[in-house]
Amino acid sequence: MDTRGDVESRNRNRVERGSKRVRAVFAGEVVADTTRPLLVWEVPYYPTYYLPADDVRTELIVATGRSRHSPSRGEGRIAHLVLGDRQATDAVTEYPDSPIEVLRGHVRLSWSAMDAWFEEDEEVFVHPRDPYVRLDVLPSSRHVEVVVDGVTVAESRRARLLFETNLPPRYYLPADDVRDELLEPSDTVTRCPYKGEAEYYSARVGDTRVPDVAWCYREPLPESERIAGHVAFHQERVRVLVDGEVDDGGTAR
């Protein structure tokens, strides 16, 4: 069942007050530090932070005289963030006359333009954690087999199943149950606010190569530590059988 439409409807234009301490770092300095963030769902699937202007180093903000319009948030004034010889171009947006009254007096800093973000004392990647996303990692004795071009690349009865809100389950197999001679390290690295940093592998079986089809979190964040050193595969791109039944990640539904 695809619930993403329901999520989109539920999250559109939602604003909530957060209670975590949130800090943004740019050019080696903390440019925002607040315990009063707003979580704003500009897109349906994850929030962004709007920070009280009193908790942002507004002396570093340089107006551009330009604006961008949002149907829900109104007219947003665009500015640069400048510190020393570093400039984060168009990284600041404010909605002083927003029809969403709670947004007035708040500053949106572009997540990717900052060097680092922290929730309390832990660095967070990609976007703020969504308080409505749950992540469970459960040990399973189900038989999981990964097949590429008719060849078994991994097989285990010791998988860790990761269940994440609104996403298909992922099967993380112990490294000992994966044929590492059929995997090639990739230069690809991704980051997740809930799991941390992942390194990727391509599968090669004969003349068949499936790029970036497997990944591993060597040192995951605490809530995901049970998948440390385990390898998962995109079941949408290879054949994954669970107790003999194909799991395609929902692509055929």
pLDDT for the residue numbered 249: 85
Q: Work out the mean pLDDT of the chain and round it to a whole number.
A: 93
pLDDT for the residue numbered 9: 42
In order of start, what are the domains of the chain with their CATH numbers?
Answer: 4-124 (2.170.150.40), 135-246 (2.170.150.40)
pLDDT over threshold 80, residue 6 = no
**What single-letter DSSP state applies at residue 222?**
G
5: exposed, middle or buried (C-beta count within 10 Å: 0-12, 13-18, 19+)?
exposed
pLDDT for the residue numbered 11: 57
pLDDT for the residue numbered 100: 96
Q: Using CA atoms in the order 34, 192, 161, 234, what is the torsion angle rounded to 10 degrees? A: 160
pLDDT for the residue numbered 7: 41
Please report which confidence band the pLDDT of residue 180 belongs to, taking 50, 70 and 90 as the band edges.
very high
**What single-letter DSSP state applies at residue 136?**
E
- For 89-121, how does the pLDDT look when each residue is reduced to its tens digit (9 = 90+)? 999 999 999 999 999 999 999 999 999 999 999
pLDDT for the residue numbered 251: 60
The pTM of this model reads 0.84
- For 204-247, how does the pLDDT look when each residue is reduced to its tens digit (9 = 90+)? 999 999 999 999 999 999 989 999 999 999 999 999 999 999 99
Cα torsion 113, 119, 121, 123: sign: negative
In DSSP terms, which residues pair with 172 in a beta bridge? 160, 232
pLDDT for the residue numbered 45: 86
Q: What token pair was written down for 240?
A: 């994954």
Rg from Cα positions in the chain? 22
pLDDT for the residue numbered 8: 43
pLDDT for the residue numbered 42: 93
Average pLDDT of the segment spanning 167-195: 96
